[in-house]
Amino acid sequence: MSSQAFTSVHPNAATSDVNVTIDTFVAKLKRRQVQGSYAIALETLQLLMRFISAARWNHVNDLIEQIRDLGNSLEKAHPTAFSCGNVIRRILAVLRDEVEEDTMSTTVTSTSVAEPLISSMFNLLQKPEQPHQNRKNSSGSSGMKTKTDYRQVAIQGIKDLIDEIKNIDEGIQQIAIDLIHDHEILLTPTPDSKTVLKFLITARERSNRTFTVLVTEGFPNNTKNAHEFAKKLAQHNIETLVVPDSAVFALMSRVGKVIIGTKAVFVNGGTISSNSGVSSVCECAREFRTPVFAVAGLYKLSPLYPFDVEKFVEFGGSQRILPRMDPRKRLDTVNQITDYVPPENIDIYITNVGGFNPSFIYRIAWDNYKQIDVHLDKNKA
């Protein structure tokens, strides 16, 4: 299949309709009109659902290929909207699991003993028993499967994932509340994170803990969010302090814990936060030995590895930093929009499936993704 499979080829009315929605979504992503990884993930899933219901394929690999193409085009539209690619990879993993299961069942019928995965060092050196034959058998037999089955599987997977994403905060809150004590001073440099906001409010109201929250402003891109965040917290009777970004070091000695929201979590345990200045805050925290915990839904885990951090960090225009510049006397400026926090500056990740060390994140990632789908772009894979 060519990469334009879903854009132009099919004359079918339903597919063309889907193509229009895809195009508009791609345009929206390109214009950065969808804000926040939560919204992006949900919209991507809705789109994927429509895409799969309208898609036609001969073999399940065909379907997987089409989904990969879709994911690739979406990722190209907004390379740093990681949640978009993450959910597509999750669905791909669901499909591939299903395929594997089918092949397994066929192999079970063909060979009497189900071969376990290599679990021991001794097996490592053993000669694998007729693997080629099995593979061939399986691929041949899986071709006999009906297609509707996979459509159902994919759509059910999407529905489950939407459910999971919508209920993520509950799971995180239960774990995270146990991490703060009464009268603690917390600092959050990511006031745009809904998860952090909800967590703090439930900690105050449901567990009835009193604590102080310092909110950094994140000037220039995030100050509005920060102020709104602070106001909301104060309205929920949480002692809140708005702090300029420059005062973080001065106050860090009094802070008990730093909470950060995340935009994407990479397999090495590093994270991209949707707010500049977070990495300096975490560095400060490290310097003062203040624990930093990051809250992240499972859908924010990305199977990518940040070899080149600059590729993942976004930069904005200068108008927010030097609004009125004399055109004859120009200055260079930097306006970092997102920020990369290396794993050594984060103590723990709280996800909806539990708390993990940054060094363990890779394992959670491979529970949910398949290695083969890391790069959706064919040229790289």
Partner 1 sequence: MSESEAKSRSATPPSKAKQATPTTTAAANGEKKLTNKELKELKKQEKAAKRAAMKQANGISIEQQQQQAQMKKEKKQLQREQQQKREQKQKNANKKKQNERNVKKSTLFGHLETTEERRATILALTSAVSSPKTSRITAAGLMVPVVASALSGSNVLTASSLMPVGPNASSTVSASAPASTTTTLPASSAALSAGTSSASTNTPTAIQQEIASSNASDVAKTLASISLEAGEFNVIPGISSVIPTVLEQSFDNSSLISSVKELLLNKDLIHPSILLLTSHLAHYKIVGSIPRCIAMLEVFQIVIKDYQTPKGTTLSRNLTSYLSHQIDLLKKARPLSVTMGNAIRWLKQEISLIDPSTPDKAAKKDLCEKIGQFAKEKIELADQLIIDNASTQIEESTTIVTYGSSKVLTELLLHNAISLKKNIKVIVVDSRPLFEGRKMAETLRNAGVNVMYALITSLDTIFNMDVDYVFLGAHSILSNGFLYSRAGTAMLAMSAKRRNIPVLVCCESLKFSQRVQLDSVTFNELADPNDLVNIDYENPVERRGNKGALLNQFIKERKFEKKKLAMENKPKGNKIGGKKGSEGESKDASNEEDSNSKNILDGWQELPSLNIVNILYDLTPPEYIKKVITEFGALPPSSVPVILREYKGSA
List interacting residues with partner 1 (CB under 8 A).
212, 214, 217-220, 223-224, 227-228, 230-231, 233-235, 237-251, 253-254, 276-277, 279-280, 283-284, 287, 310, 313, 315, 320-324, 329-336, 339-340
| β-bridge pairing 211-216 and 239-243 | parallel
Kindly give, in sequence order, each residue whose CB lies less than 8 Å from that of residue 139, ignoring residues fewer than 6 positions away: 103
HSE, CB side, 13 Å, CA atoms: give it for residue 198.
15
Report yes or no: 57 and 95 within 8 Å, Cβ to Cβ. no
Short-list 3, 162, 31, CA closest to 90: 162
Report the alpha-carbon angle 345-346-349, nearest 5.
170
CB of 254 or CB of 363, closer to partner 1: 254
Q: Using CA atoms, how far apart are residues 60 and 317, in angstroms rounded to an integer?
A: 44
Which amino acid, one-letter code, is at 181?
H
Residue 118 vs 247, nearer CB to partner 1? 247
Amino acid at 297: G
Q: Nearest distance from residue 250's CB to partner 1, in Å?
A: 4
Query: How near is the Cβ of 185 to partner 1 at its closest, in Å?
Result: 8
Give the Cα-Cα-Cα angle 65, 266, 380 (nearest 5 degrees).
Answer: 35
Name the minimum Å distance from CB 306 to partner 1: 13
Name the burial class of residue 65, with classes exposed (0-12), middle (13-18) and buried (19+) by CB atoms within 10 angstroms of its CB: middle
**Min separation Cβ 248 and partner 1, Å:** 6
| Minimum distance of partner 1 from residue 235's CB (angstroms) | 7
Decide whether 155 or 321 has the Cβ nearer to partner 1.
Answer: 321
Nearer to partner 1, 179 or 321 (CB): 321
Q: What minimum distance in Å lies between the beta carbon of 325 and partner 1?
A: 10
CA–CA dist 333, 34 (Å, integer): 26
User: Which is closer to partner 1, CB of 86 or CB of 345?
Assistant: 345
Q: Given the complex with partner 1, which of 69 and 217 has the nearer CB atom?
A: 217
Q: List CB contacts of 42: < 8 A, sequence separation 6 or more.
A: 162, 165, 166
Find the shortest distance in angstroms from Cβ 334 to partner 1: 4
Q: Shortest Cβ distance from residue 273 to partner 1 (Å)?
A: 11
Of 19 and 335, nearer to partner 1 (C-beta) is 335
Can you say how many angstroms the Cα of residue 198 is from the centroid of all Cα atoms in its chain?
19
Nearer to partner 1, 248 or 295 (CB): 248
Between 25 and 229, name the residue whose CB sits nearer to partner 1: 229
68-71 long-range contacts (CB < 8 A, ≥24 apart) are 68/92, 68/373, 68/376, 68/378, 69/1, 69/3, 69/5, 69/6, 69/376, 70/6, 70/22, 71/376
Alpha carbon distance 149, 63 (integer Å): 12
Rounded least distance, CB 272 to partner 1, Å:
12
